[in-house]
Structure 1
C-alpha cells in the first residue's frame, strides 16, 4: 500500500483511480481499527470514489490519524515480518556456507600440512553468536505477532 499525503497546494489537482483506491484503503483500515462506524465508512467510501480532486480526498481523511492507521495495518506488519524472516534465512545460509568452507580449508591444511588444531571453531563460534542474536528477536517478534492476532 502506498501512502500519498496531499498538500494544501494540491487541493485542486485532479485525482485518478490510484489515489481514490489509496483513500478507500485508508478508510477501510480506519473502519477495521474502530475509527469509523459502518454508516460513516460507507458514506466516506462512496464520496471517495466520487471525488475528483485531491482536496476532496484529503477532506475525507482530515479527522483520521492516517499515519497511525498505516502503522497498525496488519498487511504492513506481515510484510515486515516476512522480510525479517527472509533476512534470517539469508544470514543462516551465508553462515553455513562460510562454516563449510572454513572446515574444508582446515581439513585440507590438516591432511597436507599436519596442522590438526581445529581453528575454525573460533570464527564459527563468533559468527554463530551473531547468527543467534539476529534470529532470536525475529523469532520473538513472529511469536508475539501470532499471539496478538
Structure 2
C-alpha cells in the first residue's frame, strides 16, 4: 500500500515536524526569514500531516535538507552483549588512583604546614568500597 501511495502521501512524524521547525527557527535567527514569513511557515509545519505538507517549507533556505530528499531508513537494533560478559565494568583502579593522588596532596599539605591535618582522603575510599562490593556481587552471580 505504501509503495503505491508515494512519499508525499505518507504521514509525517512529530520528529519530522520538529526538525522542520528547528530549521525554520535557525533561518529566522540568521535573518533569512522575517517574523511574518516564519510565523506562516511554522504554522504550516506544525499543522502538517504528510511529507507533502512539509515539502516546500525549506526549499528556498540554504544549508537545509528538505525532507523529501532525506533518506528514510529502518531503525537498527542495539547490539546485544555476548552472553556471560558483564554488562558494566566497575572502575576500581581509577578510583584507587584518585585516592593515591588525594593522599599525596594530603601528605604534601601536612608536611609543608608542619602539622598532620585531618585525613580527608579516607572519604574517597567509600566509592572504592562500593565498587569492590559490586564486583564481588557480580562474581557471585556469574558462578551460579
Higher RCO (CA 8 Å, separation ≥ 6 residues): 1
- Check whether TM > 0.5: no
Higher helix share: 1
Structure number with larger C-alpha Rg? 2
What's the TM-score once normalised by structure 2's chain length?
Answer: 0.39
